[in-house]
Amino acid sequence: MSPPGALGTITRARKSDGAGKLVSLLSPLVAVLAAFLVGGLVVAAIGESPLRFYSVLFRGAFGSVDGIGLVLFNATPLIFAGLAVAFAFRSGLFNIGGEGQLYIGSFVCAWAALKMPGAPAVLLIPVLILASAAGGALWAAIPGYLKARFGVHEVINTIMMNFIAVALTGYLVVEIFKEPGQMTPQTAVIPVAGELPRLAGFFQSIAVPLPNANPLNASFLIALVAVWLAWFILYRTTLGYEIRAVGHNTSAAEYAGINVRRTLVMAMLLSGAFAGLVATNEIMGFRHRFLDNFSSGIGFMGIAVALLGRNSPLGVLFAALLFGVLNTGALEVDIFTDVPRELILVVQAVTIILVVVGNEIVRRRLAGGAQKRRPSKEGLEAS
């Protein structure tokens, strides 16, 4: 499942498999380039200039410090959502419930903040971070438990849990927690002590002119820590070892005395916690309140991010950054070219599909083709 290379094993020094490492680094790059090429053809097909399209797109993303800040800001929730999918995948579970988990995490975060109006920042911020993670973890633990206990497929249950989460938070925010005197289905603003600071001030102090209006906030740093944490849990803890053993070979894990059910539930819990942390960006860092229907599919984008990142934490980081570039650039394209908004979305989606598919093709090519075509046990054994 994992490429030999990028964070593939716990062993510290990995002198060998240089080629494998190269392949796993190179293939996403080649795939991205190919995707841009085909994306360009789509643009040309609708009668626009691909060159102008991409130059506007990249100018939007990289043309200014503000643009780069936006890329990081847009990437932040995707990092959490991607980690959630990737983490569960390591135990062999397909958690497509990130969307529901992040809604619950966000709602719990906002609710907890509103419940603690007088708390100082040193207390409130850690509590809210934990509340976000706990909300997501709880929501993911339910399908995790149903899977471990009754063998019910997690895909069905995570989808259902998504519906429930969106509807439930919608109900709560419209009927019970709506900001008094407002029409918008949103909660009141959380206390300032619960806000994560924006990073503009910090960057300006080191002479990087990130404008004050830029929404990049400390949640991005939390995301970086989360990437490290996911890696650390998977490759440095007994639990992570067991999660990977269960994911790679369940009967070997059973044979080794690993409690498979408990491990699956733990993997889902942690996966949900990563999804719930989306709230640190969306609630604590940006909106400062819970808004009905705010996510528009962050949790689902997380699936693509994880796939592209080949389910490795570092891979998720890079994949999320790529998505951040596309999202940020798309805004600029919308403003400065005549390409209709819908078509920008089409090109964006096509690019993502191509990157994911292309990555797979390129990887197989580079890895020397024929033998990889047999994904059965045969391919695994060298005897």
Partner 1 sequence: MPEKIAVEMRGVTKRYPRVLACDGVDLSVRQGEIHAIIGENGAGKSTLMKILYGMVRPDEGSIKLNGKPLIGHSASDSIKLGLGMVHQHFMLIDPFTVAENVVLGIEPTKAGLFIDGRAARERVERLSTEYGLALDPDERIENLSVGLEQRAEIVKVLYRGADILILDEPTGVLTPQEVTELFVVLRALRESGRTIIFITHKLNEVIELADRVTVMRDGSVTGVVSAAETTPEELATMMVGRDVLLRVERQEATLGEPVLTVSKLSALGRKGTHVLENVDLEIRSGEILGIAGVQGNGQTELVDAITGLHATSSGSVTLSGTDITNLKPRAIRDLGVAHVPEDRLERGIVPDFSVAENLLLGHHHRAGYSHRGLINVAKMEEHARTLIAEHDIRPADPSISAAHLSGGNQQKLIVAREFDGAPTLLIASQPTRGVDIGAIEFVHTSILKKRDAGVAVLLVSAELSEIMTLSDRIAVMYGGRIVAEFEGGTVSEEELGRYMTGAGDSGDEPVRNRPLDDNSPGQAAAGGEA
**11 vs 212 by CB, closer to partner 1:** 11
Nearest approach, Cβ of residue 380 and Mg ion (Å): 13
Nearest approach, Cβ of residue 240 and partner 1 (Å): 8
**14 vs 52 by CB, closer to partner 1:** 14
**16 vs 182 by CB, closer to partner 1:** 16
Residue 378 interface partner, choices ligand ATP, partner 1, Mg ion, none, CB cut-off 5-8 Å depending on type: partner 1
Residue 11 interface partner, choices ligand ATP, Mg ion, partner 1, none, CB cut-off 5-8 Å depending on type: partner 1
Residue 241 interface partner, choices ligand ATP, Mg ion, partner 1, none, CB cut-off 5-8 Å depending on type: partner 1
Query: Tokens in use for 71?
Result: 């890329």
Residue pair 194/115 in contact by the 8 Å Cβ criterion: no
Distance, CA of 278 to CA of 285 (rounded, Å): 10
Nearest approach, Cβ of residue 342 and Mg ion (Å): 56
Residue pair 119/259 in contact by the 8 Å Cβ criterion: no
* Per-residue DSSP letter, 194: G
**201 vs 379 by CB, closer to ligand ATP:** 379
Distance, CA of 6 to CA of 371 (rounded, Å): 21
Residue 369 interface partner, choices ligand ATP, partner 1, Mg ion, none, CB cut-off 5-8 Å depending on type: partner 1
Q: Rounded to 5 degrees, what are φ and ψ at 273?
A: -60, -40
Q: Which residue, 28, 41, 61, 35, is CA-closest to 305?
A: 28
Q: What angle do CA 305, 307, 312 make, to 5 degrees?
A: 85
Residues 323-382 that bind ligand ATP (CB under 6 A): 382
**205 vs 383 by CB, closer to Mg ion:** 383
The amino acid present at 191, given as its one-letter code, is: P
Distance, CA of 374 to CA of 380 (rounded, Å): 9
Residue 197 interface partner, choices Mg ion, ligand ATP, partner 1, none, CB cut-off 5-8 Å depending on type: none
Nearest approach, Cβ of residue 6 and ligand ATP (Å): 17
Distance, CA of 169 to CA of 49 (rounded, Å): 44
Nearest approach, Cβ of residue 191 and partner 1 (Å): 35
**19 vs 353 by CB, closer to partner 1:** 19
Query: Tokens in use for 254?
Result: 């059973």
- The footprint of partner 1 (CB under 8 A) covers 1-2, 4, 8-20, 235-242, 244-245, 248-249, 251-259, 368-371, 373-374, 376-378, 380-383
* Per-residue DSSP letter, 192: G
Window 344-383: contact mask with Mg ion (x via CB under 5 A): ---------------------------------------x
Residue 236 interface partner, choices Mg ion, ligand ATP, partner 1, none, CB cut-off 5-8 Å depending on type: partner 1
Dihedral of alpha carbons 239, 154, 82, 271, sign: negative
Distance, CA of 70 to CA of 145 (rounded, Å): 38
**15 vs 377 by CB, closer to Mg ion:** 377
Q: How many residues does the chain have?
A: 383
Query: Tokens in use for 183?
Result: 């029409």
| 95-to-6, 55, 261, 315 alpha-carbon distances in Å | 22, 36, 16, 18
Question: Which residues contact residue 111 at a Cβ distance below 8 angstroms, ignoring those fewer than 6 apart?
Answer: 177, 187, 290
Q: Does 251 bind ligand ATP (CB under 6 A)?
A: no
Q: Does 383 bind ligand ATP (CB under 6 A)?
A: yes
**1 vs 37 by CB, closer to partner 1:** 1
Distance, CA of 205 to CA of 213 (rounded, Å): 16
Residue 259 interface partner, choices partner 1, ligand ATP, Mg ion, none, CB cut-off 5-8 Å depending on type: partner 1
Q: Footprint of Mg ion on this chain (CB under 5 A)? A: 383
Q: Which residues lie near ligand ATP (CB under 6 A)?
A: 382-383
